[in-house]
């Protein structure tokens, strides 16, 4: 429908899918993609509720994606290898981001994760070599293996949880933690007791998600 492929997952719901599941999915989607909140097929309207596994895999010509507020899940490897994608407009309704969802998105520069996310899965941002800033909401309790591995440009992390999320030892492999600033809520000592988080340059902050300007932070360094 209108250049986007869907798979029906219930009588009233669909998820975005890939054109053909293969290693030659490169040209299925290009340019700026806006996913609608609903689609009508054969006279019946379906709500778009998720981005399926591998939906945009290796679509190296995508530049940006806007996701509607009907979507609650971005599944595993959904945007794997979208190397030209610079931005993702992600709604607050998303509560699940699968393993490797943004792996290899080499042009992505910043990300503000929705407030309902509880786990940053394994390899979610692996190899996002242009990623400079990320906001991790207070809802996050765990960061998986190599979640931010090889994000060599990372210089600003806002972690809003008052208790330091559990973090795999290799979650930030190849990230210069002496150069990257970790902003934490004021008075939260648990980060300094954590074997991973304590290696960052830590600053206390009382900013809320809506007040954080990642562009300003990046430009000041």
Q: Which CATH architecture does the domain made up of 6-211 adopt?
A: Alpha-Beta Horseshoe (3.80)
Which of 28-32, 94-98, 120-124, 172-176 is the least confident region? 28-32
DSSP run (H or E) holding 88: strand 87-89
Q: Token pair for residue 178?
A: 């002496």
Strands (E), 79-191: 87-89, 96-97, 110-112, 119-120, 133-136, 142-143, 156-159, 166-167, 181-185
Q: Is 43 helix (H, G, I), strand (E, B) or coil?
A: coil
pLDDT score, position 168: 97
The whole-model pTM stands at 0.92
State residue 26 phi and psi, 5-degree precision. -55, -40
pLDDT score, position 208: 67
Query: How much is the mean pLDDT over the chain?
Result: 91
Closest to 32 measured CA to CA, from 69, 77, 70, 85: 85
**Per-residue pLDDT tens for 31-84?**
999 999 999 999 999 999 999 999 999 899 999 999 999 999 999 999 999 999
**Per-residue pLDDT tens for 136-167?**
999 999 999 999 999 999 999 999 999 999 99
Residues 201 and 191: their CA atoms lie apart, in Å, by: 11
Residues 98 and 102: their CA atoms lie apart, in Å, by: 9
**Per-residue pLDDT tens for 198-212?**
999 999 987 766 567
Residues 174 and 172: their CA atoms lie apart, in Å, by: 6
DSSP string, 123-135: TTTTT-TT--EEE
Task: Name the DSSP class of 58.
Answer: T
pLDDT score, position 210: 55
**What is the chain's length?**
221
Per the CB < 8 A criterion, the answer to whether 116 and 140 are in contact is no
Closest to 142 measured CA to CA, from 199, 197, 76, 203: 197
State the greatest distance between any 2 C-alpha atoms of the chain, in Å, as a whole number. 58
Domain boundaries, the chain: 6-211
Per-residue pLDDT band for 116 (boundaries 50, 70, 90) equals very high
């Amino acid at each position: 429908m209108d250049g986007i492929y869907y798979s029906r997952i219930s009588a009233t719901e669909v998820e975005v899918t890939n054109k053909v599941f293969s290693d030659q999915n490169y040209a299925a989607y290009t340019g700026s993609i806006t996913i609608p909140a609903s689609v009508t097929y054969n006279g019946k309207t379906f709500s778009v509720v998720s981005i399926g596994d591998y939906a945009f895999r290796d679509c190296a010509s995508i530049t940006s994606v806007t996701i509607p507020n009907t979507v609650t899940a971005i599944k595993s490897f959904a945007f794997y290898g979208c190397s030209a994608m610079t931005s993702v407009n992600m709604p607050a309704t998303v509560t699940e981001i699968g393993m490797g969802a943004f792996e290899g998105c080499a042009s992505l520069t910043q990300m503000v994760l929705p407030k309902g996310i509880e786990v940053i899965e394994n390899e979610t941002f692996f190899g996002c070599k242009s990623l400079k800033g990320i906001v991790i909401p207070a809802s996050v309790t765990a960061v998986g293996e190599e979640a931010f591995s090889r994000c060599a440009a990372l210089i600003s992390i806002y972690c809003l949880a008052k208790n330091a999320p559990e973090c795999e030892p290799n979650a930030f492999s190849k990230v210069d933690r002496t150069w990257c600033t970790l902003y934490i809520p004021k008075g939260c000592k648990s980060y300094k007791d954590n074997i991973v988080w304590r290696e960052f340059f830590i600053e206390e902050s009382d900013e809320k998600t809506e007040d954080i300007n990642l562009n300003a932070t990046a430009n000041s360094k």
